[in-house]
Each structure stands twice: as structure tokens, then as C-alpha cells.
Amino acid sequence: MKKNILLLVSCIVVFSSCNEDDNVFDAFETEKAPVILFDKIPELFFDLIERETAAFEVTLVDPYNTVEKYSLSVYHTLENGEVLAFENYLSIDNFPYELSIQLSDVAEKLGLTLSEIEPFKDFQFISTITGKNGITYIGKSYDYNSPGDLEEKEGVLVYVGDLSQEGSFDSELISKPELKGAINFTVQTYFSPPPIFRFTSFEEPFVGAERYCNDGHTLTENADLINKPGEPAVDWVAQGDSVDDEIGFDTVFIDEGDSGFLCEIIGVQSDTDHAQRWPHGKQGWHAEDMDGRLRTTFDRVEIPAEHPQTGIRLDIFLNNTSYEGTDLLHIYVDIERDGGVERIDLINIGPDAMEELSDGERWVTIDSGLLEGVRAYTATVDFISSSNSEAFYMDYLLIYLQDPKKVVF
């Protein structure tokens, strides 16, 4: 079986203290290898709020004075699986170095237009480091089939050790930003939020066990779900009405002629499973296979007259599978103006459109845009699912104020 091991370039805290007199290679009785570090844990994002000026910025340091040259190549995978690459994107030979990678420049090098770059897209940067000893190290994985393949090749040092420890040197280990490894890192696109009025990212409710159960009884009629000890929260009572207090919500199961659920992954979760990560914080909402309609209604949020323009947005994710039958995703908002109440749809799609949306396997931000004269918002999310392969995630519902940058969503 082909295995995968990362070529050792940066400091690994498991084996080395990574101080001025030591680095990971000393653990294997090799000469000190060139190491480039970030000066701090960076924010690995390109902010699409202002695409033309979006940049990733950090200071690179050479803590052991062992580096002759550091270069980066950039890679980006399109939705059809095609990988765009630009080798030797930049080359640096003096440190410390104030690194500034402009999204516009990366896009131009890869043959992309700024307008076609969406949020939650990854740009991977892989380093090549030449030491003052003349040896070049590369920050990408090396595939091998047998122990005989693990030896020094083309000036690149790879670890020769106990092959039974598969996964000991996986690429996620030393590319984690908290290890300050500039060897191999990914910068992701996103929209920074406009000024917040009220929000929830489901951080305050408890998580509990993965599944919410119906106490052994099949739901055959409308039922107001309640929080139960040890199970994920399906309701939340707001702890206040300030900008720091998360918006409350209530969840109801509505019979659609199916059997209803017994125990399913419903409610506030910490694991993202299909979605890989939460856009904001460490928790979010997950629902699947209810055999009926799950309706989550958020608290009514009043808007003072001093805010003439406001909006509402929400991040959602559908896993890539086949949606069918009566499957539905409907997110709508009742907005109150002086003239009365109006219902607007943020998204209202059936199985075909759900399947199309899920094909990209990405988080999507749905947004009302700025609305005039709204005095209150009440948001509702309806999700109908009849298969355990159909999963819906949502995170970071945000009621926002007019952005001084005057961005059009």
C-alpha cells in the first residue's frame, strides 16, 4: 500500500523544543536544517470584502540563520478537479521578511479573474528552502511504496524510521498555524462580516451527545422539540439583547406524512463531519434524516430607528449527495416596517436545486443585502430530509448594519 510522509522542514513540537539551540533534525542526529517560521499565528484568509486589496500578511523569520533562499509555489483546485499551479511564485533571501501576498496578484498568476473567486476557496502555498549548507528541502508530501524508498534522494532528507507508525508525520501536523510552520500553508477566501447588530454562531448552547432522540416514540404529529439532558440543544433562550448575546431560537418538528425520526443528528453540534469546519467559532447547527420538516425559528430582533439600513445573512452547507422527493430547504425572514410585515425568501429550493448547490461541497453565504426602514427581523429555517445521507449545516446568522465600506453583496 502506498504511504505518505511529509518531508521534514519545519519544527515539530512533538520531537523538538524548537528553541535557538535545537530543532527537529537534532532528534535524528542530522545537521541543523533550514527553518522558516511565521513570527506569530497568522490569520490565513483573503478577505473578499475588498477583492482588489485583499492580502495575506505575516513576517517570516529565520531563527537559526540557516536559510539561503526561501521560495513559495501556489496551487488552487477548481471545482472540476483541475489544479492550477504557479511555481516559484516568490523567492526571498533576506530575513526577517514582511510577506504580503496579494489576492489580485495570485489570481493573475493562476489565470483567474477576481470576480470569479468565491468565498471558502483554498490557495495552497508550498515552500522550497535552500540552506546555507547547500541542501534544498521541499515542503510537500513524498509518496513511497516500500521501506527501501525511504532514504536521502536528490538532496531531500526524509525520515527513516518505524514504518508501522503510519500517520506520525502527516502534513496536517506541521502545517498547523499554531506550530508557526511556514513550510506548507493554505490561505482561504472569505467575507469578513459587516458591522454586527445581533448574531448567533451557536457557541452558547450546549452540544451534548451527537444524536437527539424522540424518547423511543416516532413523531407523527407536530411537536415542539425541547432540550434534554446530555443531548444536543434544539432550543436556546437568549441571555440578553446586546451585540454580545447570541440570538435565541426554537425548533419544531412538523409531520409531512413520513415516519418521523427516532434518534438523529439534530441540533447544535461541534463536529462538522461532511462540512469539515465551521465558518465561525467551534459549533454550529446540523440536521439530517428527520423524515419530516424541521423548523427552526429565531427570536424577533428589533431594530432602532437610528439604523435606517440593515440586512441579514447566514452561512449554509449541504453535503454532496442525491436529494429527492419532498426534500426542501427554505430560509425566509419576516421583516417589519412601518407599513406592516413582509416575508422575504433568502433561499427556497427543492431536491434538484439542493443537489446542484451541494455539488460544490462548500459553505455558501446567503444574504438579503441592505434593506431600508426595517424595524424588526424574525428568521426561520425549514429543512425537509428523508435520508441519512442528506445533511444540512448552518452557522453565523448575522443581522448587520450599513457597512461603511459600502460593499454590495
- DSSP per-residue string spanning 297-360: EEPPEE--TT--EEEEEEEEEE-SS---TT-EEEEEEEEEETTEEEEEEEEEE-HHHHHHHHTT
Highest mean pLDDT among 50-64, 162-176, 217-231, 253-267: 50-64
- C-alpha distance across the termini of the chain, in Å: 48
Query: 32 near 22, Cβ under 8 Å?
Result: no
User: Which three-class secondary structure state does DSSP give residue 178?
Assistant: helix
| More confident: 193 or 173 | 193
CA angle 49, 51, 53 (to 5 degrees): 105
In the predicted structure, residue 393 carries a pLDDT above the cut 60: yes
CA angle 17, 12, 164 (to 5 degrees): 120
Query: 265 near 278, Cβ under 8 Å?
Result: no
Q: Is there a shared CATH topology between the 3-190 domain and the 196-401 domain?
A: no
pLDDT interval class at 389 (50, 70, 90)? confident
Q: For residue 96, say if its preceding peptide bond is cis, omega within 30 degrees of 0.
A: yes
What pLDDT is recorded for position 214? 80
Give DSSP secondary structure letters for 17-43.
---TT--GGGGGT-PPPP--EESS---
In the predicted structure, residue 180 carries a pLDDT above the cut 70: no
What pLDDT is recorded for position 5? 34
What pLDDT is recorded for position 360? 65
Neighbours of 154 (CB within 10 A): 6
Least confident of 34-43, 133-142, 300-309: 133-142
Average of pLDDT values for 385-396? 89
Average of pLDDT values for 248-271? 88
Q: Which long-range contacts (CB under 8 A, 24 or more apart) does 13-19 make?
A: 13/179, 14/173
Average of pLDDT values for 124-150? 69
| 3-state DSSP percent of the chain in helix, strand and coil, to 5 | 10, 40, 50
Backbone angles phi, psi at 207, to 5 degrees: -100, -55
What pLDDT is recorded for position 13? 28
What pLDDT is recorded for position 152? 40
In the predicted structure, residue 20 carries a pLDDT above the cut 90: no
Query: 194 near 401, Cβ under 8 Å?
Result: yes
pLDDT interval class at 77 (50, 70, 90)? very high
In the predicted structure, residue 119 carries a pLDDT above the cut 80: no
Domain locations in the chain?
A: 3-190, 196-401
- The model's pLDDT over 286-345, given as tens digits with 9 standing for 90+, comes to 998 888 899 999 999 999 999 999 999 999 999 988 898 889 999 999 999 988 999 999
Query: 35 near 67, Cβ under 8 Å?
Result: yes
What is the Cα–Cα distance from 326 to 393, expressed in whole angstroms?
19
Out of 3.40.50.720, 2.40.10.480, 2.60.40.2550, 2.30.42.10, which CATH number does the structure's domain 3-190 have?
A: 2.60.40.2550
Is beta strand 292-298 parallel, antiparallel or unpaired with respect to 249-254? antiparallel
The amino acid at residue 402 is Q
What pLDDT is recorded for position 27? 35
Contacts of 309 (CB under 8 A, 6+ apart): 370, 371, 372, 401, 402
Grid cell locating 6: 511529509
Q: Is 125 left (phi over 0), alpha (psi -120 to 50) or beta?
A: beta
In the predicted structure, residue 231 carries a pLDDT above the cut 80: yes
What pLDDT is recorded for position 82? 92
- Please give the CATH topology (third level) of the domain spanning 196-401: Jelly Rolls (2.60.120)
pLDDT interval class at 125 (50, 70, 90)? very high
What pLDDT is recorded for position 246? 97
Average of pLDDT values for 386-392? 85
Grid cell locating 75: 496551487
Query: 108 near 117, Cβ under 8 Å?
Result: no
Contacts of 23 (CB under 8 A, 6+ apart): 11, 16, 32, 33, 35, 64
Give DSSP secondary structure letters for 290-311.
-SEEEEEEEPPEE--TT--EEE
In the predicted structure, residue 352 carries a pLDDT above the cut 60: yes
pLDDT interval class at 262 (50, 70, 90)? confident
DSSP 183: S
Which burial class, exposed, middle or buried, applies to 374 when counting CB atoms under 10 A from its CB (0-12, 13-18, 19+)?
buried
pLDDT interval class at 178 (50, 70, 90)? very low
% of the chain with per-residue pLDDT over 90: 46
pLDDT interval class at 32 (50, 70, 90)? low
Query: 89 near 123, Cβ under 8 Å?
Result: no
What pLDDT is recorded for position 233? 95
| Mean of the per-residue pLDDT values of the chain | 79
What pLDDT is recorded for position 41? 77
- Report if pTM > 0.75: no
Least confident of 40-44, 57-61, 217-221, 225-229: 217-221
| More confident: 366 or 164 | 366
